[in-house]
Structure 1
Amino acid sequence: MDGLRQRIDNHIIRPDVLSRTDFDRCTEAEQVLYDDQRLQWFSNGLIVRTPALRRLTMTGLSLLRVHNPSAVGERGIVLTGPPHIGKTTALIRLAAEVEQWAGKRAPDFRETGRAPVAYIEMEPKASPKSIASSILNFYGIPHSFKSATQHQLTDQALDALRRRHTQMLIIDELQMLKLDGKTGDDAVNSLKTIMNDSGAICVFAGVDLLEGLSSRPAEQIMARCQVTQMRPFLGSDDTSRGHWASLINSLGGAMHLLDAEPDHLAPYADILLTMTGGKIGDLRSILALAMANAITDRDDTGDEIITQDHLVGVGQIGVA
């Protein structure tokens, strides 16, 4: 629980925008601080509000507003997509929105020990017992994984969710669970029990879950879930390419590079699409490293601006 709160509370202040003239008037120490602040903001503080992120948070908050904890099998959410598409980042943002929502209704919820949102990640080779065990680990509740039965662990997890007044349970990396065969049926039944009896809205997230949750036992879960799919920008039509270009320009503006013109990344939109396959997570990583290199090269080149060499060097891809 403390780990999630640290991620939610890690507010990185957006630095002021300095002109080249203002920057040159700063001391060397002030310039270094400004460089660090810009890089931290772009890499870790900036929220890329994609259509999928807006859809996820809107769906989550809407379900909270109509949620009845005493009802059985209330609706949930499935978030699915390929790796490096930004699912976990979107889930942490959803968790932050849920805590803000709860704080408006019970400002002292942290002081009274409430946890409006619980967030767990399934580890490789996770078993059905791992679901309940991970929930107990989130709250820091000691338990015996080996000696306790799956039923006992699930009862403990359900009790913890109720006592902490958890209104949303996020289960990430769900593909790590074996979801087919007998073990898969047991895992799905555990998820169904938690969804039915916890009083919390369940968010199931992972890679290509629509295939993993296609068994007959999973149908009862899927029937009560709204699905949000996060897809890469493929650029195969004018609409997709327009969204990609807008995203590139937005990120370029957020860098606050001293000598960059507006829309300075626009000429590299196609290169970046090729380098990233349209995946936002990869795009953020490449641009953050390119930005750091542009700042490092400033003293040698005289200009602080991203070039094609910065992008190609970071992405390790040849461009004709």
Structure 2
Amino acid sequence: MTIDDQAVEPDLDPRQLPSVTLDGWRRFVDAKPATFELLDHDSYSSLSGAEKLTFDDRRMAYHSELVIIETSTVRHITRQGRLLSLLNQRECGARRSMIVSGPWASGKTTTIKLLGKIHEQNVRRRYPGQDRIPVVYITTPPKGSPRKLASEFANFLGLPTRQRHNTTDIADAVCHVLTEARTELVIVDEIHNLNLASAAGEDMSDHLKYFSEHMPATFIYSGINVERSGLFTGVRGRQISGRSVLIKTGNFPFNDEWKSLVASMESALRLYKHRDGTLTRNSKYLHQRTGGSISSLSHLIRAAAIMAILSGDDAITREALDAAIIDHAAESATSHPITPKAG
């Protein structure tokens, strides 16, 4: 491959639109997995300074995204989501929902969005050419209110909301549009922001129930340790608990699956001087360094890869991994030596 061949490939746009709008969500669903083909070493060495900068910018954009790994947790949640949508398809009354709960950075959002992406792609294949909105993705507003919650749905759809519109007006308009658009899956992230110990939280819970009863869709919720956040307390909490399947996520133990995750990420690297197997041999270190968090692992490897390109080393070494700074939660939970580079 030559630099001219690379030039005709689609640019890796570093900007990603938020998925909480219909346009942003559809772009997320349409997005293909990131790919990048290296020039052979001689061709890369012969690039001019400007050409090399352009090529390396694309390499860094590629490594900033890297790959989404299909873990056992991802497979379990996507299967359960598919099962619930099938169970609910002929249901006229209270539909079953799913709640994905886990600690920070345990892959909850990535997994539920992947569930939504797979579902929408399946709907598109079954009903080609139809202008449907199979999936809605919103986040629970912090310190929210029923109006703010209804507005999240309206904002996703691009429906205008004005001061004279009350909460019921907005909610009814949303339910009408989503019913007409044959929406099947509604994903509500950050559900831990819903505090049933407050009056506002109770009102928001009631309105989520209103939405779920006024549109024929399966609701998928996700939040941080929701079983300990008060979501299941009181009359409303018991009602949510009685209608929901709870699936927990967490950090990975050091086992064969962890080693496979590391190997998959390493195989996706596009670095000229990287020695294959370096990360795999350091899989135990990577587990200790990240506490088994796939989010922290992805951060560490992507950061080390980009630093390798910027420095010209073009390889990830143990020293480079030691020098990389990742999320505070992982850095606080583990200790590692910082090895300064000589010179």
TM-score, L = length of structure 1: 0.84
Paired letter, 1:205: S
SS in 2 for 1:119: strand
Q: 2:246 aligns with which of 219, 227, 234?
A: 227
C-alpha contact 1:14 1:38 (8 A) present in aligned 2: no
Shift of 1:115: 0.7
Match of 1:293 in 2: 307
The 8 Å contact of residues 101 and 108 in structure 2, kept in 1 or not, is answered as yes
How do 1:42-191 residues align onto structure 2 when only pairs under 5 Å count? 42-68=63-89, 71-109=92-130, 112=131, 114-144=132-162, 147-191=164-208
Contact 2:60 2:309 in 1 (8 A): no
What is the rounded CA distance, in whole Å, between the counterparts of 1:294 and 1:314 in structure 2? 11
Distance 2:68 2:55 in 1: 20
Q: In the TM superposition, what is the alpha-carbon distance from 1:107 to its structure 2 partner?
A: 1.0
Please say if residues 140 and 193 of structure 2, whose CA atoms lie closer than 8 Å, have aligned partners that are also in contact: yes
Give how far 1:204 is off: 0.7
What is the percentage of aligned positions where both structures have the same residue? 27
Measure the CA separation in 2 of the matches of 1:128 and 1:179. 13
Contact 2:144 2:204 survives alignment (8 Å) = no
Give aligned pairs, total: 307
Unaligned runs of 5+ residues in structure 1 are none
SS of aligned partner of 1:158: helix
Q: Report Cα offsets for 1:221-265 as digits up to 9, x if no partner.
A: 2222222222012x4xxxx43322221122111113323333211
- Note if contact 1:167-1:200 (Cα within 8 Å) is conserved in structure 2: yes
Distance 2:57 2:29 in 1: 21
1:263-278 paired onto structure 2 within 5 Å: 263-278=277-292
CA RMSD of the aligned region, Å? 2.6
Go from structure 1 to structure 2 and tell me whether the alpha carbon gap of 1:65 and 1:155 turns closer, same or farther (over 3 Å shift). Answer: same
Distance 1:3 1:281 in 2: 22
Q: Does 1:252 align with 2:266?
A: yes
Q: How big is each residue's C-alpha offset from its partner over 1:295-316, in whole Å with a ceiling of 9 and x where there is no partner?
A: 2333xx5xx3211222122227
2:217 maps to which of 200, 213, 216: 200
SS at 2:274 equivalent:
coil
Q: Deviations over 1:265-295 (max 9, x none)?
A: 1343333333323222222122111001112
2:89 partner amino acid: N
Give the SS at the match of 2:37. Answer: coil
1:307 aligns with 2:317: yes
Q: Hey, what does 1:218 align to over in structure 2?
A: 237
Cα distance change of structure 1 residues 91 and 42 upon mapping to structure 2, 3 Å threshold: farther
Query: 1:143-199, CA deviations, whole angstroms, 9 ceiling, x for partnerless residues?
Result: 23x554444433333222212211111111111222324333322222222222210
SS at match of 2:202: helix
1: CA distance, partners of 2:45 / 2:84: 51
Which amino acid in the other structure matches residue 202 of structure 1?
A: F
Give the 3 Å change call, closer, same or farther, for CA 227–26 of structure 1 in structure 2: farther
**Offset at residue 37 of structure 1 (A):** 4.1
Distance 1:315 1:250, change over 3 A: same
8 Å contact kept, 1:17–1:256: yes
CA contact (8 A) 2:179 2:216 kept: yes
Q: In structure 1, how many angstroms separate the alpha carbons of the residues matched to 2:93 and 2:59?
A: 48
The one-letter amino acid paired with 2:174 is A
